[in-house]
Structure 1
Amino acid sequence: MKELLMATVLAVTPIQANTVKVYFSTDYGLPGKVAAVTRTAPHAGVARFAVEQLIKGPTEAERRRGLHSELGKQIRGRSDCGADFQLKVVNGTATLRFCRTVWGNGVGGDARMLNTIEQTLRQFRTVKKVVVLGKDRRCLFDHTTRGTSCITGHE
Structure 2
Amino acid sequence: MRELLMATVLALSPAPAAGSPTQAGSTVKVYFAKGFGIPGKLVPVTRKAPHQGVARFAVEQLIAGPTAKERARGLHSELAGALRGRSACGADFTITIRKGTATLRFCRTVMSNGVGADARMLGMIRTTLRQFATVKKVVALDKSGRCLFDQTERGTSCLTGRE
TM-score (norm 1): 0.88
SS at match of 2:76: coil
Amino acid at match of 2:78: E
Partner of 1:153: 161
Which residue of the partner structure matches residue 53 of structure 1? 61
Cα distance change on mapping 1:21 and 1:146 into 2, 3 Å: same
Structure 2 residue corresponding to 1:81, chosen from 76, 89, 93: 89
| Rg larger for | 1
TM-superposed CA distance for 1:19, in Å, is 0.6
| Gaps in structure 1 of 5+ consecutive residues | 1-14
Deviation of the 1:72 alpha carbon: 2.0
Identity, % of aligned positions: 68
Q: Partner letter of residue 149 of structure 1?
A: S
State the distance in 2 between where 1:56 and 1:63 align. 12
After superposition, residues 65-144 of structure 1 pair within 5 angstroms as 65-144=73-152
Name the amino acid aligned to 1:92: G
In 2: Cα distance, 1:68 partner to 1:153 partner: 28
Amino acid at match of 1:137: G
One-letter amino acid of the structure 2 residue matched with residue 109 of structure 1:
A
The SS at the match of 1:88 is strand
Secondary structure, in 3 states, of the residue corresponding to 1:55?
Answer: helix
AA at the equivalent of 2:58: A
Amino acid at match of 1:125: A
CA shift digits 1:80-106 (9 cap, x unpaired): 100000000000000000000001110
Equivalence for 1:42:
50
Cα separation, partners in 2 of 1:147 and 1:65, compared to 1, 3 Å: same
2:102 aligned counterpart, secondary structure: strand
Query: Distance between the aligned counterparts of 1:37 and 1:114, measured in 2?
Result: 17
SS at match of 1:22: strand
- Runs of at least 4 residues off by over 4 Å: none
Q: Equivalent residue for 1:23? A: 31
User: Secondary structure of the residue that 2:81 maps to in structure 1?
Assistant: helix
Deviation readout 1:45-87 (Å, 9 max, x if unpaired): 0000000001000000000001001112110000010000000
Q: Distance in 2 between matches of 1:93 and 1:70?
A: 23
Q: How large is the Cα RMSD of the aligned pairs? A: 1.0
For the residues of structure 2 that align with 1:32 and 1:146, how far apart are their CA atoms? 27
